[in-house]
Amino acid sequence: MTTTGMVAPAIVHSLTDAVLVADAEGRIVYANPAVHTLLGHDPAVLRGRPLTVLIPERFRAAHRAGLARFLETGAGELLGTTTQLPTLHADGSELTVDLSLSALDGAATAVDGAPGAGVVVGVLRDVSSAVRLERQVEVDRHLRATLRVTAALAEAPDADVAFERLLPSLCAELDWDAATLWQPEPCGSRLAHAASWSAPGLAVPALQADTRLRTFVPGEGLPGTVWRHRAPIFVEDLWADSRVLRREAVRADALHTAVAFPVLHGDTLLGVCELFSRERRPVPPELLDVLAGTGRQIGQFLARLRAETELRELADTLQRSLLPAHLPTIPGVQLAARYRAGADGVIVGGDTYDVLPLPDGRWMVVIADVCGTGAEAAALTSMTRHTARAAAAWGGGPAEILTAVNEALLREQDGRRLRFVTAACLVLERRSGRTRARVVVAGHPLPLLRAADGSVTEVGVCGRPLGVEPGATYVEVPVELSGGSTLVLYTDGVTEARDDDGIQFGEERLSALLGEHRFVTAAGAVTAVHIAVEQHVRGSRHGADDLAVLALRC
């Protein structure tokens, strides 16, 4: 083949590569037999038809502009090069080919009896197999990258942190230069900017400034289009695509290509991710399918993480409602308390404590432990606390208070599964500079009194747990808190805490701890107990129980 105006008929006719010759009007003046093999078109039928019958619709405008420029200037971007392009097969499908273009000098070109003034000749070679292999490699790379992104998000403590890590993880793994994340506003009518990211050393100030000012409704811009169709979209030329509303910004930052995909949980849109590249890069349909799957996978993960976060927040709120917001001030008595939730996965613990000033100048102090955890246990914990408060406000002593709680729990359970409560309750009064208390214990660990000389004794008589036996009676034991003494109330999460060998912290260890330390504050006693238990269970395979400690020091 030459470019001197004559195409050698015999040589061209026998080539296995498809050859096309077109005139200045863009009409096909020659097609060799290999065109039928490659594209399914009869060469004889193609003659006289425009080249656009072989060009996908989206590329026809560029083809016409390129041909006009060549005819006017004699120069063309594709001349003398080999370019990979999609071509239309006779059955309507697209086939990727390598296209090599050469210019003819305009002399008459006669091939196989079809005269015509050919100006360009193109040689087409099937590369679809190689392209499919390349695409598969690219898809596999992105699938592996998606797994790494999900693994990175799995380490996030909550949904907010996961969303912060999403953009840098995606761009680093999928090799994009910048990204934005959009999320529905609380009202759900618009998408608002949630986050932006750019590769280290690569600033995109125009895009970021423009993005922070925008919102999108469904169908508006790239984010809104993704929102409406719930599917990824690809824009190879951001500067020319009418769907891009930030063309000035992307042009200023020299960004050329973008892909956007939805983050979905079922049919619910959690967000839209946009990825930008400074290089013009093709995005095969297979990759869009991968991104669609990626968006759903990330969406399921984030939805679960968000639900877990909301559940933890709800549990924290509920747990705080079962404990006093702060401890009141009792003249001449220091108060301190410490609560620690149990093992991971426990929604709400069953331990509670309370200190309540009474109308007659006395004070009620109670600590309780409900059997079990979760919503039902929380309901019983709340009932225990508020029933104790009501009975104390009516002027009852500690025995009457726990009797009232016992009756309320029995009424509540009403033949359902038994849930008992253990509790220690005391009513404290200050008179003539002396502090006295009456103590009642219902199935609970006995409070420990550390005297000023360091001796430690148990206080109270252990009665039946609450919510088990109708008509149960409880014995009040008087206690005097002299100067320098500390009364410690605690739940079994302290003494039953087990190390990795299964050995419990135990009552003896707790008594020894209180006796060995010279506490000068109630907070010092509570802190020492908490630290000792934490050290005992560190690294233990055994699940931790709830723990509550309440100390009174005179």
Note the pLDDT of residue 504.
94
Residues 167 and 88 in one domain: no
CATH number of the domain enclosing 54? 3.30.450.20
| Matching residue, tokens 């190879």 | 236
Q: Does any domain span residue 269?
A: yes
Among the listed residues 46, 43, 48, 23, the one whose alpha carbon sits nearest the alpha carbon of residue 32? 43
- Residues in the chain, how many? 554
Residues 124-145: tens digit of each pLDDT: 887 766 666 666 666 666 667 6
Task: Judge whether 3 lies within some domain.
Answer: no
Specify the amino acid at residue 394: W
Pair (422, 534) in one structural domain: yes
Q: Report phi then psi at 275, rounded to 5.
A: -115, 135
Q: Pairing between strand 434-442 and 462-463?
A: parallel
Calculate helix-pair angle for 128-154, 285-321, nearest 10 degrees.
10
Cα–Cα distance for residue pair 404/410, rounded to 1 Å: 10
| pLDDT value, residue 479 | 94
- Which CATH number goes with the domain that contains 365? 3.60.40.10
Q: What is the domain count for the chain?
A: 3
Helices (H), 363-504: 375-393, 398-413, 492-495
Place of tokens 């308390």: 337
Same domain, 94 and 140: no
Given this model, what pLDDT does residue 195 score?
86
Same domain, 82 and 115: yes
In Å, how far are 162, 321, 347, 348, 375 from 311, measured between CA atoms? 16, 15, 8, 10, 12
Distance CA 237, CA 62 (A): 13
Q: What is the CATH number of the domain that holds 151?
A: 3.30.450.40
**410 and 327 both lie in a single domain:** yes
Considering 293, 313, 333, which residue would you say is the last residue of a domain? Answer: 313
pLDDT given for residue 7 in this prediction: 45
pLDDT of residue 262: 93
Task: Locate the DSSP E strands across 266-344.
Answer: 268-277, 334-340
- Bridge pairing between strands 191-198 and 334-340: unpaired
The reply to whether 121 and 157 lie within a common domain is no
Q: pTM of the full predicted structure?
A: 0.52
Amino acid occupying residue 21: V
Q: Which two tokens stand for residue 85?
A: 């392009």
Structural domain contains residue 446: yes
- Same-domain status, 359 and 476: yes
State the DSSP code for 75: -
Q: Is residue 19 part of a domain?
A: yes
Structural domain includes residue 169: yes
Say whether both 347 and 489 belong to one domain: yes
Report helix, strand or coil for 256: coil
Q: Are residues 454 and 363 in the same domain?
A: yes
Q: Which long-range contacts (CB under 8 A, 24 or more apart) does 147-154 make?
A: 148/173, 149/173, 149/294, 149/298, 150/297, 150/298, 150/301, 153/298, 153/301, 153/302, 153/305, 154/301
Main-chain phi, psi angles of 153, to 5 degrees: -70, -30
Place of tokens 């083809």: 63
CA–CA–CA angle 200, 170, 262 (5° rounding): 130
Is 33 found in the same domain as 170? no
Domain hosting residue 362, numbered range: 322-553
Determine the longest span between alpha carbons in the chain, in angstroms. Answer: 129
* List of the chain residues with pLDDT < 70: 1-12, 105-118, 128-143, 145-147, 149-154, 158-160, 163, 309, 311-321, 342-349, 372-375, 414-418
Q: Where is the domain boundary, 107, 126, 145?
A: 126
Instruction: Please check whether residue 437 lies inside any domain of the structure.
Output: yes
Identify whether 165 is part of a domain: yes
Helices (H), 155-202: 159-174
pLDDT at position 275 is: 92
Tell me if 4 is assigned to some domain: no
Assigned token pair, 58? 């989206």
Residues 534 and 475 in one domain: yes
Domain final position from 126, 143, 172: 126
Q: What is the pLDDT of residue 123?
A: 87
Q: Among candidates 49, 242, 275, 62, which has minimal Cα distance to 149?
A: 275
Between strands 94-103 and 118-126, the pairing is antiparallel
Give DSSP secondary structure letters for 295-314: HHHHHHHHHHHHHHHHHHHH
Q: Decide if 399 contacts 478 (C-beta within 8 A).
A: no
541 and 424 in a single domain? The answer is yes
